[in-house]
């Protein structure tokens, strides 16, 4: 210790250089610690924003998914029965089903009693009408047992339903806000895409953030780049109270080639106050929900 004190008090050049070198080492160590602390602080802020983005999107996406899975969809159709005698005195009964849908989406028929039902109902009606026509594969003739039609303006006279495009009905978007108070100032856009088997895909992104985050250097980019997705699939063979049972594939359909059902349809259609006829229900279930870089289960 005496030697060190002596060196520090020494006025010789070598001791002065040693002291300066010691100070330089201390400064370098101090600056490294400061830089590491700043980097860690940046990572913490980034992680906080990413966690917040996750909370915003997961809350909004769960809100939408819970609403869409809370109620069944049923397509509406009409039924007409005609009997006629053809060659050799053979009597043929024609069962004509008209799937109810409207291209303009106004007063859309069918039933989907959830908050977001009106957004999806017309697209579901169009998919249902087209799928039933394709499934029967005998559109445009009145000499067969079952005939499917549609009152869609540009579909009712088509002999080949495959030529009818679904591009205007298979996807769309809407905005929603989280149901949590601390996240309600974030605006989330939900983009949706409907597959022909009625599987629904949802993609959620943050499209507007509160003012206090817009000036942050790294804030908006993290929010804008974070994405969450969800898949809703039709529940197969599920019994829904007061509505009935879903089909074996979960897709909405009409029970055909069943004489008892034909009689039931005819009775309801010819009543003084005709009852509405509905397809088997479509009930969505949540298949999966994933965030950034997360693998689908």
Joined together, the tokens standing for residue 56 give: 């915003």
Give the C-alpha separation, 129 to 160, whole Å.
13
Give the C-alpha separation, 290 to 280, whole Å.
30
Q: How confident is the model at residue 125 (pLDDT cuts 50, 70, 90)?
A: confident
**Using alpha carbons only, what angle is made at residue 125 by residues 111 and 161, rounded to the nearest 5 degrees?**
155
Q: How confident is the model at residue 188 (pLDDT cuts 50, 70, 90)?
A: very high
**Residue 165: predicted pLDDT:** 62
Q: Do 292 and 227 meet the contact criterion of CB atoms below 8 Å apart?
A: yes
CA neighbor of 97 nearest in space, from 247, 255, 271:
255
Q: Where are the domains of the chain?
A: 44-290
Query: What is the percentage of the chain residues whose pLDDT exceeds 70?
Result: 65
Give the C-alpha separation, 49 to 69, whole Å.
30
| Strand pairing class (146-150; 227-234) | unpaired
Kindly tell me if the per-residue pLDDT of 153 is higher than 50: no
Q: How confident is the model at residue 266 (pLDDT cuts 50, 70, 90)?
A: confident
**Residue 156: predicted pLDDT:** 41
Question: According to the per-residue pLDDT averaged within each range, which of 7-16, 155-164, 237-246 is highest?
Answer: 237-246
3-state SS, one letter per residue, for 104-163? CCCCCCCECCCCCHHHHHHHHHHHHHHHHHHHHCCCCCCCCCEEEEECCCCCCCCCCHHH
Sign of CA dihedral 202, 203, 207, 209: positive
Q: Do 149 and 156 meet the contact criterion of CB atoms below 8 Å apart?
A: yes
Kindly tell me if the per-residue pLDDT of 41 is higher than 50: no
Flag whether the pTM goes above 0.85.
no
**Residue 141: predicted pLDDT:** 33
Kindly tell me if the per-residue pLDDT of 45 is higher than 90: no
Q: Do 126 and 161 meet the contact criterion of CB atoms below 8 Å apart?
A: no
Question: What average pLDDT does the chain have?
Answer: 76
């Amino acid at each position: 210790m005496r030697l060190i004190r002596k060196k520090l008090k020494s006025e010789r050049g070598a001791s002065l250089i040693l002291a300066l070198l010691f100070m330089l080492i201390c400064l370098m160590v101090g600056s490294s610690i400061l830089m590491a602390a700043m980097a860690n602080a940046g990572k913490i802020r980034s992680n906080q924003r990413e966690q917040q983005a996750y909370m915003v999107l997961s809350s909004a996406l769960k809100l939408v998914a819970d609403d869409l899975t809370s109620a069944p969809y049923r397509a509406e159709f009409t039924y007409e029965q005609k009997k006629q005698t053809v060659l050799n005195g053979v009597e043929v009964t024609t069962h004509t089903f008209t799937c109810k849908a409207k291209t303009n989406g106004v007063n859309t028929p069918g039933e989907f009693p959830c908050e977001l039902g009106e957004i999806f109902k017309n697209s579901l009606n169009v998919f249902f009408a087209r799928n039933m026509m394709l499934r029967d594969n005998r559109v445009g003739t009145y000499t067969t047992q079952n005939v499917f039609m549609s009152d869609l303006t540009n579909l009712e006279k088509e002999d080949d339903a495959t030529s009818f495009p679904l591009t205007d009905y298979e996807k769309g978007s809407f905005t929603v806000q989280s149901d949590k108070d601390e996240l309600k100032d974030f605006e989330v856009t939900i983009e949706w895409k409907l597959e022909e088997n009625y599987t629904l895909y949802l993609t959620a992104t943050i499209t507007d953030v509160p003012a206090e985050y817009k000036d942050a250097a790294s804030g908006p980019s993290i929010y804008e780049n974070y994405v969450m997705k969800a898949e809703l699939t039709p529940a197969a063979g599920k019994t829904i109270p007061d509505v009935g049972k879903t089909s074996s594939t979960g897709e909405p359909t009409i029970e055909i080639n069943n004489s008892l059902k034909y009689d039931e349809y005819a009775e309801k259609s010819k009543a003084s106050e005709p009852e509405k006829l509905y397809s088997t229900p479509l009930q969505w279930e949540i298949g999966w929900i994933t965030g950034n870089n997360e693998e689908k289960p």
